[in-house]
Amino acid sequence: DGTKFGKTEGGAVWLDPKKTSPYKFYQFWINTADADVYRFLKFFTFMSIEEINALEEEDKNSGKAPRAQYVLAEQVTRLVHGEEGLQAAKRITECLFSGSLSALSEADFEQLAQDGVPMVEMEKGADLMQALVDSELQPSRGQARKTIASNAITINGEKQSDPEYFFKEEDRLFGRFTLLRRGKKNYCLICWK
């Protein structure tokens, strides 16, 4: 029935594929706290208790990052969004992490615009400083100028250090989208009007 899962509606993840994109859904489960992940595997997957216990033991003894969050994210995303939705979520995650956007489809960008990353609509002819302010990646044009000059901004995965930069036609992927990133994890998707 699409019952929400989460503490607040703004951060809610719905068990209805029409209400939460595969990417956002997958990210929700990837970010599950270590204290909750094995319990959630029991509640939300069809894994046996033996499989979950073996995974927990493996995670404790491996000396590597735990696999449980990835197993949980894959299992639950596949249940709600199907194999195609899971593969799209993993592809988007990998592309955002690596900074290489060439593997993303127009549908992937539409997922991001729906609820995957913060989004701002802009008119053609906008400059980078204004985009950073409008997207709330920076509080002011002055701070945007400093951040750009410090080489901390990427446009579609490419570093941009010119504070006077104006967006070009080739910055509009599929004629509609530009992905800004400040640092390693702060994203905003520009949707061009």
Flag whether pLDDT at 109 surpasses 80: yes
Domain co-membership, 138 together with 104: no
Domain co-membership, 105 together with 168: no
- Given 62, 96, 116, the domain boundary residue is 116
Q: What is the mean pLDDT of residues 18-32?
A: 92
Q: Which amino acid is at 66?
A: P
CA distance 104 to 101: 6
CA distance 42 to 24: 21
Report pLDDT digits (tens) over 140-175. 999 999 999 999 999 999 999 999 999 999 999 999
CA distance 90 to 66: 17
CA distance 88 to 104: 9
- Given 57, 91, 116, the domain boundary residue is 116
Domain co-membership, 10 together with 75: yes
Q: What is the CATH number of the domain that holds 131?
A: 3.10.290.10
Q: What is the mean pLDDT of residues 93-113?
A: 90
Flag whether pLDDT at 106 surpasses 60: yes
Domain co-membership, 162 together with 178: yes
Q: What is the mean pLDDT of residues 114-120?
A: 87
What pLDDT sits at residue 3? 52
Total structural domains in the chain?
A: 2
13 touches 23 (CB < 8 A): no
Domain co-membership, 146 together with 90: no
What pTM was estimated for this model as a whole?
Answer: 0.78
Provide the domain limits for residue 174. 119-192
Domain co-membership, 144 together with 99: no
Q: What is the mean pLDDT of residues 78-106?
A: 92
What pLDDT sits at residue 145? 97
What pLDDT sits at residue 18? 84
What pLDDT sits at residue 1? 47
Domain co-membership, 126 together with 88: no
Domain co-membership, 182 together with 110: no
What pLDDT sits at residue 15? 83
- Given 90, 116, 142, the domain boundary residue is 116
29 touches 43 (CB < 8 A): no
